[in-house]
Amino acid sequence: MNKLSANTLLSIHTRLSAIFNFGIKHHGLHDNPAKRAGNFDVQVEKRMNFWELFEFKRFIKYVFELKFRALFMTLYFSGLRKGELLALTWGDIDFKNKTIDVNKTDHNRIVTTPKTNASIRKLLLPQQVLDLLTEIKKETNAKDTYNMFGEFNESLSTTTLDNKFAAFVKASEYKRFD
């Protein structure tokens, strides 16, 4: 049970309780042991892993491909989640106001709206990131509907992103987060 998240444990408990309630209603059970046991009191201790700026600078020195340099700089300086980054289109960037419009997420190349309204937001981007993105957009002559880091309308796969990240981390001889 130590390897299961608090949400997973809660979900399991809820489903078990529903099964026992069904048994009480339709099959003559007299008690719901899940209800009697109560819910889990799970203490979640999640430690956030991140790189300090000097660590990121060490890593990014080894990222020579323009697309991936821009991708990792966008991730680092915006704080986007991986799925949010992979769902970005060129129309989401406002170069004039230096913002990025986060309004969708990508999960296994399926783009949907975020789970919560709080995930829909505008973020400021530093000029160095905007300069890289401007260069890519000019080189590729990309339309606003095209995916920023994929090919045309298709997003980059998470496997490709993870493999590239691992290769650059290895090249930089730096730590990787799991």
Residue ranges and CATH numbers for the domains of the chain are 1-46 (no CATH), 53-172 (1.10.443.10)
Residue ranges of the chain whose pLDDT lies below 50: 1, 178
Residue 78 has what pLDDT? 93
Residue 178 has what pLDDT? 47
H helices of 31-178, in order, are 33-37, 53-60, 66-78, 82-86, 127-140, 158-172
Residue 46 has what pLDDT? 66
d(CA 97, CA 127): 11
Which bin fits 160, alpha (ψ -120 to 50), beta or left (φ > 0)? Answer: alpha
Crossing angle of the two packed helices 53-60 and 158-172, in degrees rounded to 10: 100
d(CA 100, CA 126): 11
